[in-house]
Amino acid sequence: MKFHWFAEVTHSGLPDAFPAPGQGAWVDSPIDLADPERVGEDYRMFIRLMQQADRDGFDGLAVNEHHQTPFAMTPSPNLLAASVAGSTENAAILVIGDSLALYNPPTRVAEELAYLDCLSGGRVIAGFVFGTPMDSAYAYGRPPVELRERFHEARELVLRAWAEREPFAFNGRYTQLRHVNVWPRPVQQRPAIWVPGSGSVETWELVTRENYCYGHLSFSGLRSAKPLVDGYWDYVAAHDGDLNPHRMAFTQLVCVADSDAEAERKYERAVKYFQRVKDPAMRYATPPGYTSTESLAKMLQRVNTPAALEDKRRATRGEMGFWEYDEKGYIIAGTPDRVAQRIRELATELRVGQLIASLHMGDLPEETAAENTHLFGTKVIPQLRDLWADQPDHWTPAVSQRRIAARAGVPAPVGGN
C-alpha cells in the first residue's frame, strides 16, 4: 500500500464567525480576511511539512488546485509542487491535479508537468481534474456544459504533446495551435495519470477505459464513501477493468498522538475549524449542466440517508464531539496502533491501495502537524506495507518506489512507469 502526504492549504487566521450561516467559504469570501504576510507563513509551513514527509518515508507529496477560497489557497498546484520537487529526494510529486478545462492553451500543463518531472528526476504523477463547480463555473467562468468536452480535448493535447517526436498542428474546438513542440519532455515515458471524481459515471468510464488511478477525494469518511466506492468497483468489474487496488486513491483526515487523550486535546479545534470552512454556499455547488442526467440519476440512487445528511450538517457546524467525528469516519484518530488498525479496515473494505493522508487540517499548529507526520510515517506506515503487496503498482513512479524501498531496506516492488 502507498501513502501520500496531503493537506488543504487553509488560511490559519480566519475568525470564529466565518463563514456566516449559509455563506460558505468559496468564490466571494471577503478578501480583507486575508493577511498576505500570514498567508506567506502558511505556505512556508506546508513546504516544510512536505519536505519532512519525504524524510519520514511517505510515497508521495500531494498538491491540488482551487480558486478564490481561504479553505485551499492553491491557485496553481504546479507552483507548490515546484517548491518541493527540487528540495526532496524520494517521494512522488502527486499533482492532483491540474484543472485542464481552465488552461488556455493546455500545452501549459504539458510544459509545467514536464518541468516538474525533469526537476524531480522522474517523480511526477500527473493528476487531471475536471475542477469543482466553484472553481470552474464561478471563479473561472467556464460554462458547465462545456467542461467535460474541454477537459477531454485538453487531455488529448497534453498526452500528444508528450508523445510526438516532431512538431504538429492541433485544431480542436477550443484550442487551435499551428506549432506544438513542447520543451522539455518528461523523464518518464509518460507520467502516471490520476483522475479524481465524486461519482460521475463519465469519470468512471474514462478511468476504467484508460486504466488511470481513480481518486475519491472526500472528507466524509468510510460510511459516506462506501456506496460510491462500491459502485465504482462494480462498474470496473462490469466493464472488464483492472481491479488492482493501487488504482484507487482515498483521502482521509488522520490525527496521530501518543495517547487517545492527547489526540483529542491537540486536534479537536483544528478538526472543527476544517469542517467549518470547507464547504461552499449551495448557490455555488450545483450549477445546471455540471452533472449529466445519467450521473445525477446514479447519484440519487446512492443518496445518503437522512441520518447521514444530519451527520454532515452537525459535522460542519462543529456539533460533534471529537470521538464522534472519529466514530463516523470524518477522522481517524488515536495512537499509531489504533490508527493503523482503522486504516487497515478502511483500505480492505474499500479496496484502496493509495491513501492520501491529510495530516494537517484547519489551523493546526506546525509543531503538531510535524509530530503527526512523523508518527504516521515512522509508526503507522510500517504496519501497513503488507497490504496489497502482491499487486503491482503502475500508478506510482518507478524511481520513487525504488528509492523508498532502498531507504527502508526492502526489495524494490514491481510496477511503476
**Cis bond upstream, residue 86 (ω within 30):** no
**pLDDT at 343 (0 to 100):** 97
**Cα separation, 278 vs 59, whole angstroms:** 26
**Cα separation, 191 vs 113, whole angstroms:** 9
**pLDDT at 293 (0 to 100):** 74
Closest CA to 365 of 266, 278, 274: 266
Dihedral of the alpha carbons of 136, 203, 230, 93, in degrees to the nearest 10: -70
**pLDDT at 126 (0 to 100):** 98
Kindly state the DSSP code that residue 235 receives in the 8-state scheme. Answer: H
CB distance 380 to 371 below 8 Å: no
The architecture (CATH level 2) of 2-408 comes to Alpha-Beta Barrel (3.20)
- In the block, residue with C-alpha cell 477537459: 151
CB distance 253 to 331 below 8 Å: yes
**pLDDT at 298 (0 to 100):** 67
CB distance 34 to 69 below 8 Å: no
The domain ranges of the chain are 2-408
- In the block, residue with C-alpha cell 493546526: 364
The list of the chain residues with pLDDT below 70 reads 297-305, 412-414, 416-417
**pLDDT at 304 (0 to 100):** 61
**Cα separation, 365 vs 266, whole angstroms:** 9
- Within 139-259, where are the H helices? 147-163, 201-210, 221-238
Closest CA to 232 of 270, 188, 202: 202
Closest CA to 323 of 312, 339, 334, 307: 334
CB distance 19 to 25 below 8 Å: yes
**pLDDT at 326 (0 to 100):** 95
**pLDDT at 410 (0 to 100):** 73
CB distance 68 to 34 below 8 Å: no
Q: Report the Cα 197 to chain-centroid distance in Å.
A: 10
**pLDDT at 308 (0 to 100):** 74
Cβ contacts of residue 33 below 8 Å, gap of 6+? Answer: 11, 13, 14, 15, 18, 70
pLDDT digits (tens, 9 = 90+) for 268-303: 999 999 999 999 999 999 888 887 777 776 666 665
pLDDT digits (tens, 9 = 90+) for 298-317: 666 665 667 777 888 898 88
**pLDDT at 416 (0 to 100):** 64
